[in-house]
């Protein structure tokens, strides 16, 4: 058997993860969801990593005749990846009681940055550019798309810093990205959403189209 491309590929091979209906293989499905192709809405690295990890848990649970309800999977996944040591150890003991190697299972779970590298480096996936679209809302959609791409890039970098020990715990932080508009004539600065709601950035200097 050829060496796996990375940790994601190794988990797919080691646990024989099932392929979602309609996809040729799991890699194809992951790439399609990330890029928003084949009828999928585009999602970020964190969403895909969580989906992948929960699918891994479900596969292992079913193989060991362990209940794999959605509620249990979500709850125990949160415990295994969370900060509550007592809760994590409790779940690990319960897994061991069902014959599951908790250490190996936890070690197989992938991070957001690992999923990002798999998509980009191993699969060569690229998100298509989002061209402006005719219609009254294309501007807002363009802003939201740009925010999402930038936020994912920052989150990937922060996760890498966390893994290096430069920013411990950074991989669990939430990246926020407000879009701010500043008046070139004064200190007025407002969120884009606020400017849209009230119809101007600065009432004194940018309140009308002709500057009056």
CB 52 within 8 A of CB 8: yes
Tokens 């796996």 locate to 4
User: For residues 81-99, b (16+ Cβ closer than 10 Å) or e, as one string?
Assistant: eeeeeeebeebbeebeeee
**For position 88, what pLDDT does the model report?**
94
pLDDT tens digits along 115-140: 999 999 999 998 876 555 555 566 77
Q: Are residues 69 and 80 in the same domain?
A: yes
Counted domains in the chain: 3
- Distance in angstroms (rounded) separating the CA atoms of residues 135 and 141: 11
Q: Are residues 108 and 189 in the same domain?
A: no
Is residue 53 pLDDT above 90, yes or no? yes
Residue 124 domain flag: yes
Q: Are residues 121 and 165 in the same domain?
A: no
Residue 17 domain flag: yes
Residue 2 domain flag: no
Q: Are residues 87 and 191 in the same domain?
A: no
pLDDT tens digits along 172-206: 777 777 778 888 888 888 887 777 777 778 877 77
Q: Nearest 5°: CA angle at 151, between 146 and 153? A: 100
- Distance in angstroms (rounded) separating the CA atoms of residues 185 and 208: 14
Q: Are residues 98 and 142 in the same domain?
A: no
Q: Are residues 103 and 188 in the same domain?
A: no
Q: Are residues 76 and 137 in the same domain?
A: no
pLDDT band of 209, cuts 50, 70, 90: very low
Is residue 34 pLDDT above 80, yes or no? yes
Residue 1 domain flag: no
Of 34-38, 75-79, 93-97, the range with the lowest mean pLDDT is 34-38
Residue 102 domain flag: yes
Q: Are residues 122 and 52 in the same domain?
A: yes
Q: Are residues 122 and 144 in the same domain?
A: no
Residue 173 domain flag: yes
Q: Look up the domain containing 209 and give its range.
A: 179-212
Q: Are residues 30 and 108 in the same domain?
A: yes
Q: Are residues 55 and 114 in the same domain?
A: yes
Q: Are residues 173 and 183 in the same domain?
A: no
């Amino acid at each position: 058997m050829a060496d796996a491309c990375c940790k994601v590929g190794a988990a797919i091979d080691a646990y024989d993860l099932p392929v979602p209906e309609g996809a040729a293989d799991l890699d194809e499905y992951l790439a399609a969801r990330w890029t928003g192709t084949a009828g999928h809405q585009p999602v970020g690295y964190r969403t895909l990593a969580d989906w992948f990890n929960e699918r891994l848990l479900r596969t292992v649970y079913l193989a060991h005749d362990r209940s794999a309800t959605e509620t249990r999977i979500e709850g125990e996944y949160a415990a295994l990846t969370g900060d509550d040591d007592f809760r994590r150890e409790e779940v690990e003991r319960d897994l061991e009681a069902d014959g599951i190697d908790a250490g190996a299972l936890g070690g197989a779970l992938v991070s957001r940055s690992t999923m990002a590298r798999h998509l980009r480096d191993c699969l060569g996936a690229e998100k298509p550019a989002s061209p402006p679209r005719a219609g009254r809302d294309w501007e807002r959609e363009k802003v939201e798309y740009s925010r999402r791409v930038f936020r994912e890039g920052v989150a990937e970098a922060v996760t890498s810093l966390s893994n290096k020990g430069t920013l411990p715990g950074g991989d669990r932080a939430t990246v926020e990205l407000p879009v701010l508009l500043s008046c070139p004539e004064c200190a007025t600065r407002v969120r884009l959403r606020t400017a849209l709601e009230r119809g101007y950035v600065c009432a004194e200097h940018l309140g009308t189209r002709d500057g009056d």
